[in-house]
């Protein structure tokens, strides 16, 4: 469980996060989108212990965030591409798993699984510095997912990745984070609505439930259901629920849903 409570962060006199609160439960995938410079990366850097809030608290489980425990408790894929250099794809993913506390055999098994799930096995013996941008992003994602953390934080993980492998990434994320709270920063609103459980929007440093444009129609992962979030109304503190909980799933091309602010259910 991640609990961010009234976190404020300023760079000098510029306030970048204003009293941000966010709770993400185990097994929940929360997507955060919003314009460039809104403060999303600043928020996740505080969550993973790379920045200290000016005020407010961040808890993972029952404990206050403590930077020294982050490597075991949190899996973080930063927005910037990581340097992979001369290690092969398989070696990078395998070593990342062991650094995060898996045994060598467990990490090797999980590495084989991730190579297959993301369909990147053809590159398993290729050195990192020879990879394309999209493949680097996929390897960084696999390195992040090769662990059993309490919290997964992904900052724009699907950038540069082809549409089919983006779908595979979201599926792997769901499959491999049954017990983890997950925060995904993304500019891809359609992906967020289709695959996340809860969607939040950050604007000028303030975080609130996502306000989706009327008529948004999103192809679902399994092509049997579609999310139609048009005309949904929200109150502060409620959030759009999609994905595993299914509250907003409707029959394909079904009627537009309205969401009751009180109950969060269809009506
Ligand atoms: N180290 C820093 N010092 C001063 N200002 C900073 C620093 N890091 C970020 N900022 C500023 O804080 C604001 C929020 O930046 P942040 O990277 O959190 O935005 P973002 O929502 O992640 O944007 P993007 O979608 O472009 O990645 C921006 O105005 C940015 O210029």
- pLDDT, tens digit (0-9, with 9 covering 90-100), for 92-101: 999 999 988 8
Collapsing DSSP to helix, strand or coil, 234 comes out as coil
Q: Residue 260: inside a domain, yes or no?
A: no
What does the pLDDT average to over 12-19?
Answer: 94
Residues 6+ apart with CB under 8 A from 93: 110, 111, 114, 115, 139, 142, 143, 146
Which residue's CA lies nearest to atom 29 of ligand 1?
37
Query: Which CATH number is 156's domain given?
Result: 3.40.50.300
Using CA atoms, how far apart are residues 126 and 87, in angstroms rounded to an integer?
Answer: 8
pLDDT tens-digit readout, 40-71 = 999 999 998 889 899 999 988 766 666 566 66
Model confidence over 233-262: pLDDT tens digits? 333 333 344 433 333 332 222 223 333 333
pLDDT for position 194: 80
Atom of ligand 1 nearest to the CA of 11: 4
What backbone phi and psi angles, to 5 degrees, belong to 170? -65, -40
- The 3-state secondary structure of 23-78 reads EECCCCEEEEECCCCCCHHHHHHHHCCCCCCCEEEEEECCEECCHHHHHHHEEEEC
Ligand 1 atom at minimum distance from 156 CA = 27
pTM: 0.80
Do 243 and 196 touch, CB atoms closer than 8 A? yes
Residue 232 forms part of a structural domain: no
ipTM above 0.90, yes or no: yes
Q: Return d(Cα 91, Cα 97) in angstroms, integer.
A: 10
Q: What is the DSSP letter of 130?
A: G
In a domain, 246, yes or no: no
128 lines ligand 1 (CB under 6 A): no
Residue 166 belongs to some domain of the structure:
yes
Q: Is 177 in the pocket of ligand 1 (CB under 6 A)?
A: no
Tens of pLDDT, residues 176-230: 988 899 999 998 887 887 888 888 888 899 988 776 554 343 333 332 233 333 3
Q: Is residue 122 included in any domain, yes or no?
A: yes
CA 33 – ligand 1 centroid, Å: 14
Per the structure, the complete domain to which residue 204 belongs is given by 2-210
Residues 113 and 94 sit within 8 Å (Cβ to Cβ): no
Our answer on whether the CB atom of 11 is closer than 6 Å to any ligand 1 atom is: yes
- Count: domains in the chain: 1
pLDDT, tens digit (0-9, with 9 covering 90-100), for 120-156: 999 999 998 899 999 999 999 999 999 888 999 999 9
């Amino acid at each position: 469980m991640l609990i961010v409570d009234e976190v404020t962060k300023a760079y000098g006199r510029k306030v970048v996060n204003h009293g941000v609160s966010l709770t993400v439960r185990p097994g929940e995938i929360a997507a955060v989108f919003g314009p460039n410079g809104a403060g999303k990366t600043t928020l996740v850097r505080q969550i993973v212990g790379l920045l200290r809030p000016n005020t407010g608290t961040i808890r993972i489980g029952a404990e206050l965030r403590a930077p020294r425990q982050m490597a075991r408790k949190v899996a973080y894929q930063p927005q910037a591409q990581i340097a992979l250099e001369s290690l092969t794809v398989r070696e990078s993913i395998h070593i990342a798993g062991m650094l995060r506390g898996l045994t060598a055999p467990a990490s090797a098994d999980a590495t084989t699984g991730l190579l297959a799930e993301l369909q990147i096995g053809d590159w398993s013996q290729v050195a990192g510095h020879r990879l394309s941008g999209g493949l680097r992003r996929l390897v960084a994602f696999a390195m992040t997912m090769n662990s059993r953390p309490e919290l997964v934080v992904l900052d724009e993980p699907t950038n540069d990745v082809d549409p089919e492998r983006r779908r595979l990434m979201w599926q792997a994320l769901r499959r491999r984070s049954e017990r983890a709270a997950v925060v995904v920063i993304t500019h891809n609103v359609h992906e967020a609505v289709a695959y996340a459980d809860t969607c939040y929007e950050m604007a000028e440093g303030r975080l609130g439930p996502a306000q989706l444009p009327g008529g948004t129609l999103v192809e679902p992962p399994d092509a049997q259901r579609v999310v139609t979030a048009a005309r949904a109304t929200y109150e502060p503190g409620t959030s759009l629920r999609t994905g595993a909980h299914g509250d907003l799933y409707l029959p394909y091309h079904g009627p537009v849903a309205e969401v009751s602010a009180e109950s969060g259910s269809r009506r």
